[in-house]
Structure 1
Amino acid sequence: MLKKLSYITLFALTLGSCSDTLDDINANPNATETPLAPYLLTGTLKQGADLYWGDVNNFNSSLLFVQHWAKIQYTEPDRYDVSNTSFTTLWNTGYATLITDLNTIINFPEAQANSNYKGIALTLRSWTFLLLTDAYGSIPYKEAGQKVTPAYNTQKEVYTGLLEDLKQAQSLLNTSGGSVTGDLAYKGDVSKWKKLVNSLRLRIALRISDKEPALAKQAVIDATTDAGGLISSNAETFKFTYTSSPQQNPASAWFETRDDFRISKTMVDQLNEFSDPRLPVYAQLPSDATVGKYVGGANGLSNSDANSQGFAKTSKPGTYFLTSSSPAVIFSYSEVLFNLSEAVARGYISGDAEQLYKNAITASFIQFGITDATVISNYLNQTSVKYDATNYAKSIGTQKWIAFYGQGLDAFTEWRRLDYPVLKAGPNTVLDGKLPSRFFYPGTEQSLNGDSYQAAIAIQGKDLLTTKLWFDAK
């Protein structure tokens, strides 16, 4: 018996020793036992920019839906022939990566992340939730990251919750609250983050303006009177600047090996109608030099009809968007001015809606490198461009649609909200002449979170591309 116990003891000691040895062998010398806030912030900014500007959520979906770009081959997404596996990236990366990492920063003790890190993390988390609800509608919000099968919140609950979250973010951000590293957007400039917070509050206020005008008005007042201010120049635009491969702009990487997108004919026609000097920025001349003008691709064509337009006779998107270092603009100064113009037009705040509208267009021109004052003045003085106070949604909606070129997710949301410009589905689309109004929920939600999913669609409506979301239901 004693001999048997000795063998057991020896085996246990040997196993423990082997386990310790294996732990040492499998240890990653480059890993840190505790995640660091600067690394998490850097990763979130890069992954968020890739998510916003990448193929799945941008140029292979929302940019097609708003007819900024068109497909010249593999046209299924441009015909809305998609499924509940088509829009999983925004959901999966949004929740499993961005929100998870940002919650880690928010929950760090003060020794690991000062209040400015937490304020920035809460701001970026609010932006991520905003992308999710704008695209899908009802989403897990209050229980996200807390339960394996979180309940969905209605879009109204998400928007109003985000307004409160951003108030908290604003209170956390303080120019004397500690330094921030790992910030590839604003280089640790907390005053610029405070401006972004208020700009996001203004954006969300207008999202709810048709459904909750009293709340929207108060949110606009709060955002525009806050001491932190708003994004007030192109230099303060919230963007992620790429470098060279492999840290390159996603569209640039795509066009290195593929050739299946063109600028949309809808956009080219609109820019030509306005004699818009942004056309050479937004598009390239066809490679066939005999064409000699910008030619957009039609949306919603069959593969054969799209191909027959001619690869060499149609215009690719402009090189401004297809170089390795092209920035991922996420919130522009131009958008802030358009939002202020609308807020004045709705009577939420005082001001000159027409002048703010002109300033917004001017800011867009400057953003894309057009600085000649005469060119800008001539454009603004055209009858077709002048601000129409009797239909501010048409004036602002059309010009915002142009200015948002390349920012598919937000262009898609604002087009649904303002209903301008009037877009028509292509001839071979599959939604009976309708255009998409939302993204499908990922199919995994039905299988892994079925009860919450079913409860959500019972309130929101069927899980269809054509189901109108709360902010869009007139």
Structure 2
Amino acid sequence: MKNKFLKYMFIALIPAAVSSCTKFDDSYYQNPNKPTEASGTQLIANAQLFLPSLSSSAYGVHYPQYLSLTTYTDNTRFLTKNFDFETWYVGPLMNLEEVLKKGETLSAVDGPVVNQIAIAKILKAFFLWNVTDRWGDVPMSEAFKGIEIPNPKYDKQEDIYKALFKLLDEANTSIVLTNGTIKNDIIYKGDMSKWKKLANSIHMLMALRLSKVNPTLGKSEFAKAYQAGGFSTMKDNFSYPHLNQAANQNFWYNSFSTLGRKWYALSKPLVDQMAPFNDPRLSVYGDSLATGGYAGLEFGKAVPNPDVDIPKVSLLGSKLRAQDAPVHLTTYAQLLLAQAEAAKLGWLPGGDAQAKTWYDEAIKQSILQWTDSDEKAEAYLEETAIAYQPAKALEQIATQRWIHVFPYGYEGWAEWRRTGFPKLMIASDINNGKMPRRDGYPVNEAVNNKASYDAAVSAFPYGGEDNLDSRVWWDKP
């Protein structure tokens, strides 16, 4: 991290050094059609370009056993333990930090400054939430100081969560809705009412992560965000829109169509959770076999003969790997499931009756989102194992969440770690028979930022080493 931060800061300082040497009025020579620095909304848009990578990942889809690899199975055997988080810091987070540093000095030409700042805070919270959920303690408070602090400390995940709750609160209360539209917004086209709902929806999902480690704080934060108002329709979904062009195409399209790789098949655990109950989403998640029906590939094991055996398993669905297929990051159905769990836990009023209402509606909305029709939802909900059962409600809600957020692997993995549902098994020859609990820190951190790295590893909340087996703070045993 050290070298990349220094490099970024050096580049950022060059324009200032040059301008300080001239005696002329620089504004006279500036071409308005060739700005010398990005505007606030351009920096925000650039950060948004990184959003698909959170979901569309050659690694993330395997952590909750969504996809199996037909060939080259290293990723499904979790042979890589250390992952680089620098991309997020020097990419989207640095762009957003620049917006926040400029603050009130931002130009209002592209929309109200307070709204630009609010969106930057929401996106910063979303990216950092993903980073800390993968690695645990990570740099935050000192992460963007550049030359001033080249070796940032690792903040405690508990402190990061509290800081992100505050960031989302600030964004929510500051948003101006009347004449508040901003330009260059890839996600919501400048609609601030949707950004406001997103801030509260993310807040609720984050609060639910604390159900085991700090339910008191989780309940308080969840209820507050619920009262402030989250998603109320599928049209509020936080989704990234791809285009039918190479410069902005879906990751899976590139893998399947451009590169011709038939590597990614639905996993057997996923198909086994969906096929027996005629889950209508399965026809979107995977391709049916030539003989009809669906077949999942055993997780972590390649097919013996690709030419012969790949047609015998269901590959990732063609709809999901279309060039312009969107990536769903936070959705209405996902929030409904969170509210159902909150009601079951007593965080929201209504008990099982309210939990069932939200659970049923979440399934209907999920099926509608993925299939463009909810006509098969009632039949699915009548399946004995699917129909809401108070004694098994938490498992049912967790399993439906795991199914719904496919193929957003890192989110599915985080919720699996928190709840333990569905019950996923793993072969004894894969990571010693243990499902991963976190990602290992980047290898260069042990050298470039040794003191901070050592302090973070020694402070793991439940002990362990810097590998896939130690637990993050909210992943309480």
TM-score (norm 2): 0.87
Structure 1 residue 28: Cα displacement: 11
The within-5 A match list for 1:269-418 is 269-286=272-289, 289=290, 291-301=291-301, 303=302, 305=304, 307=306, 310-351=309-350, 352-373=354-375, 375-418=376-419
Query: Does residue 215 of structure 2 align to residue 213 of structure 1?
Result: yes
For 1:105, the equivalent position in structure 2 comes to 99
For 2:178, the equivalent position in structure 1 comes to 176
For 2:6, the equivalent position in structure 1 comes to none
For 2:132, the equivalent position in structure 1 comes to 133
Structure 1 residue 469: Cα displacement: 1.5
Structure 1, unaligned stretches of length 5 or more? 1-15, 21-26
Measure, in 1, the Cα distance between the counterparts of 2:456 and 2:333: 35
Measure, in 1, the Cα distance between the counterparts of 2:308 and 2:333: 34
The within-5 A match list for 1:420-459 is 420-426=421-427, 428-429=429-430, 431-459=431-459
For 2:3, the equivalent position in structure 1 comes to none
Q: 1:355 corresponds to which letter in structure 2? A: T
Equivalent position SS for 2:320: helix
Q: 1:292 corresponds to which letter in structure 2? A: G
Change (3 A) 1:426 1:65: farther
The within-5 A match list for 1:64-143 is 64-84=62-82, 87-88=83-84, 91-113=85-107, 114-143=113-142
Measure, in 2, the Cα distance between the counterparts of 1:92 and 1:326: 27
Post-superposition Cα deviations, 1:435-468, rounded to whole Å, max 9, x if no partner, equal 1111111112111111101100101131110112
- Is contact 2:125-2:164 (8 Å) kept? yes
Post-superposition Cα deviations, 1:235-256, rounded to whole Å, max 9, x if no partner, equal 1101110002221111111112
For 1:268, the equivalent position in structure 2 comes to 271
Structure 1 residue 273: Cα displacement: 1.9
Structure 1 residue 53: Cα displacement: 2.8
Query: Does residue 471 of structure 2 align to residue 473 of structure 1?
Result: no
Measure, in 2, the Cα distance between the counterparts of 1:109 and 1:432: 49
For 2:27, the equivalent position in structure 1 comes to none
Q: 1:330 corresponds to which letter in structure 2? A: L
Query: Does residue 467 of structure 2 align to residue 464 of structure 1?
Result: yes
Change (3 A) 1:217 1:164: same
Structure 1 residue 205: Cα displacement: 0.7
- Is contact 2:81-2:467 (8 Å) kept? no
Measure, in 2, the Cα distance between the counterparts of 1:43 and 1:462: 35
Q: 2:252 corresponds to which letter in structure 1? A: A
Q: Percent identity?
A: 29
TM-score (norm 1): 0.87
Structure 1 residue 426: Cα displacement: 3.2
Would you identify which runs of 4 or more consecutive aligned residues in structure 1 move more than 6 Å?
A: 27-30
Q: 2:270 corresponds to which letter in structure 1? A: M
Measure, in 1, the Cα distance between the counterparts of 2:103 and 2:200: 26
Measure, in 2, the Cα distance between the counterparts of 1:38 and 1:179: 11
For 1:34, the equivalent position in structure 2 comes to 37
Measure, in 1, the Cα distance between the counterparts of 2:32 and 2:252: 34
Measure, in 2, the Cα distance between the counterparts of 1:370 and 1:382: 21
Equivalent position SS for 1:322: coil
For 2:200, the equivalent position in structure 1 comes to 198
Measure, in 1, the Cα distance between the counterparts of 2:420 and 2:389: 15
- Is contact 2:81-2:468 (8 Å) kept? no
Change (3 A) 1:52 1:467: same
Measure, in 2, the Cα distance between the counterparts of 1:445 and 1:459: 16
Structure 2, unaligned stretches of length 5 or more? 1-17, 23-29, 108-112
- Is contact 2:303-2:310 (8 Å) kept? no
- Is contact 2:209-2:474 (8 Å) kept? yes
- Is contact 2:165-2:203 (8 Å) kept? yes
Q: RMSD over aligned Cα, in angstroms?
A: 2.1
Measure, in 2, the Cα distance between the counterparts of 1:318 and 1:427: 29
Equivalent position SS for 2:49: helix
Select 1:163's aligned residue among 158, 162, 165: 165
Structure 1 residue 29: Cα displacement: 11
Equivalent position SS for 1:70: strand
Q: 1:340 corresponds to which letter in structure 2? A: Q
Measure, in 1, the Cα distance between the counterparts of 2:269 and 2:197: 34
Equivalent position SS for 2:293: coil
- Is contact 1:119-1:173 (8 Å) kept? yes
Structure 1 residue 32: Cα displacement: 2.6
For 2:47, the equivalent position in structure 1 comes to 44
Q: 2:176 corresponds to which letter in structure 1? A: N
- Is contact 1:53-1:251 (8 Å) kept? no
Structure 1 residue 138: Cα displacement: 0.7
Post-superposition Cα deviations, 1:188-222, rounded to whole Å, max 9, x if no partner, equal 11111000000011011111121111111111111
Post-superposition Cα deviations, 1:134-154, rounded to whole Å, max 9, x if no partner, equal 111111111111221111111
Equivalent position SS for 1:131: helix
Q: 1:77 corresponds to which letter in structure 2? A: N
